[in-house]
């Protein structure tokens, strides 16, 4: 879809805008998938029996679990980015 030679300038602009909007929607979907994943993982790990209110231990566990999940995801993402950049040089 990057081949826009036969498009008019307005068609090119529309195609570029569409690609930008698709990329944004893909990022939103990835973010939502991440949230869903760590919600599932951390809920299973930390919540013994749901109640009307979280106790202190459960809340602390959930916060720690989410922070570890985010840190791990960022570390993996950064490492992958470094590998891609090394491959591009």
Q: Give the pLDDT confidence of 57-78 residue by residue, as tens digits.
A: 999 999 999 999 889 989 998 8
Global model pTM greater than 0.85: no
Distance between CA atoms of residues 73 and 81, nearest Å: 12
Q: Does domain 9-88 have CATH number 1.10.10.60?
A: no
29: which 2 tokens? 């979907």
The arithmetic mean of pLDDT across residues 5-9, rounded, is: 77
Looking at residue 3, its pLDDT comes to 63
Domain regions of the chain by residue span:
9-88
CA atoms within 13 A on the CB side of 64: 9
Looking at residue 2, its pLDDT comes to 55
Q: What does the DSSP 8-state code read for residue 29?
A: H
């Amino acid at each position: 879809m990057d081949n826009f030679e036969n498009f008019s300038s307005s068609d090119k602009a529309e195609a570029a805008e569409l690609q930008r909007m698709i990329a944004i929607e893909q990022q939103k979907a990835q973010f939502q998938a991440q949230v869903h994943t760590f919600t599932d993982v951390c809920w299973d790990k930390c919540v013994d029996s749901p109640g009307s209110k979280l106790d202190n231990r459960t809340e602390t566990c959930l916060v720690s679990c989410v922070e570890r999940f985010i840190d791990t995801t960022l570390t993996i993402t950064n490492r992958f980015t470094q590998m891609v950049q090394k491959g591009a040089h």
